[in-house]
């Protein structure tokens, strides 16, 4: 198949997004050294309103505040590919687009950055942590009911700096700090027994036009089969539970030695109601594992917790 001479790659303009884009370009270039690349910087809705907590952006927040503008750039021909955090890819893609994860997933855990030099368990009583994520606040309240939370958005450097000046700490995804080589700020990698990550957290992705066989061939060459299976399963679970940005759902799928393991935790806003399930199977049984997990979670009231959380947060918007 003939490949284009140059590929235009749409990317958000933040330091993390650009680093992720450069990483993906390097993976592609290693396999196709003759290709040239042009990065098309895109400002998304989420980038324009960084002072507004995501949960206060209204009901349409669950329709891709970080990816919609990137997708439009691909659809209207300004870009051949869009790079993204696969976590931000919506299940209902716009007509005419394909999305896949690329590369091996980075560490999916969340981390604590704090000025106290202590882990979560040893933070002072009533410690104030910065995070805008209902998933994080609900699970952490279940771990320590005395913790207080304040919304915080912006780029990673800003959030790290504010965690030192204004809060007792900030909760961030490990992957972002690792990719920007800011791991020296990490005080604690939070155990998944306390805090399960978001679906597809730490995985990178590409979106391109359906029918662009050249782009499909290029991204297929940089995929990791285990990562793709795991993040697809996590996304499928979110669909099964009707989850979105407002949903307090933590989920993690792993593949080791041919065994597929998936854990999910749904916790109420105040941390007092907790539904947690785990299911295992072979790699080939990942779809069955997801379905069984969804059915058990729903039977135990997970969807009611999700619906109450969504209604409450929308009421605050």
139: number of Cβ within 10 Å: 26
135 annotated active-site: yes
245 annotated active-site: yes
Query: Which member of 8, 109, 136, 179 is catalytic?
Result: 136
Query: Which member of 22, 78, 153, 274 is catalytic?
Result: 153
CA-angle at 296, arms to 291 and 300, nearest 5°:
145
94 Cβ neighbours under 8 A, 6+ residues apart = 71, 75
236: number of Cβ within 10 Å: 21
Task: Give the closest residue to 116 by CA, choosing from 154, 169, 75, 63.
Answer: 169
Query: Which member of 12, 159, 179, 265 is catalytic?
Result: 159
Q: What is the DSSP annotation of 159-212?
A: HHHHHHHTSSEEEEEHHHHHHTT-GGG--EEPPTTT----TTTT-EEEEEETT-
Query: Which member of 8, 87, 265, 310 is catalytic?
Result: 87
87 annotated active-site: yes
Query: Which member of 8, 135, 141, 235 is catalytic?
Result: 135
Query: Which member of 8, 12, 47, 88 is catalytic?
Result: 88
State the Rg of the chain over Cα. Answer: 19
Q: What is the β-pairing status of strands 110-114 and 188-189?
A: antiparallel
6 annotated active-site: no
Query: Which member of 84, 206, 245, 264 is catalytic?
Result: 245
- Please give the positions annotated as active site: 87-88, 135-136, 153, 159, 245
């Amino acid at each position: 198949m003939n490949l284009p001479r140059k590929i235009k790659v749409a990317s958000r303009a933040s330091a993390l997004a650009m680093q992720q884009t450069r990483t993906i370009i390097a993976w592609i270039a290693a396999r196709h050294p003759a290709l040239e690349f042009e990065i098309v910087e895109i400002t998304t809705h989420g980038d324009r309103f960084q002072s507004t907590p995501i949960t206060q952006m209204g009901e349409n927040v669950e329709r891709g505040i970080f990816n919609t503008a990137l997708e439009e750039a691909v659809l209207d021909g300004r870009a051949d590919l869009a790079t993204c955090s696969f976590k931000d890819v919506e299940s209902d893609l716009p007509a005419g687009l394909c999305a896949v994860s690329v590369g091996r997933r980075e560490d999916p855990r969340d981390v604590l950055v704090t000025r106290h030099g202590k882990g979560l368990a040893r933070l002072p009583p009533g410690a104030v942590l910065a995070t805008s994520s209902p998933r994080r606040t609900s699970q952490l309240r279940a771990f320590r009911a005395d913790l207080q939370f304040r919304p915080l958005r912006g780029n990673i450097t800003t959030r790290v700096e504010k965690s030192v000046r204004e809060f007792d700490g900030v909760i961030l995804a490990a992957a972002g700090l690792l990719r920007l080589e800011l791991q020296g700020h990490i005080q604690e990698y939070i155990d998944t027994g306390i805090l399960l990550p978001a679906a597809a957290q730490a995985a990178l992705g590409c979106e391109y036009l359906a029918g662009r066989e050249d782009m499909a061939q290029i991204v297929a060459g940089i995929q990791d089969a285990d990562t793709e299976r795991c993040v697809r399963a996590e996304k499928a679970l979110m669909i099964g539970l009707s989850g979105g940005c407002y949903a307090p759902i933590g989920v993690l799928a792993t593949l080791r030695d041919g065994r597929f393991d998936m854990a999910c935790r749904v916790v109420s806003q105040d941390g007092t109601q907790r539904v947690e399930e785990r299911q295992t199977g072979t790699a080939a049984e990942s779809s069955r594992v997801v379905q069984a997990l969804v059915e058990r979670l729903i039977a135990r009231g997970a969807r009611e917790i999700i619906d109450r959380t969504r209604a409450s947060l929308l009421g605050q918007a």
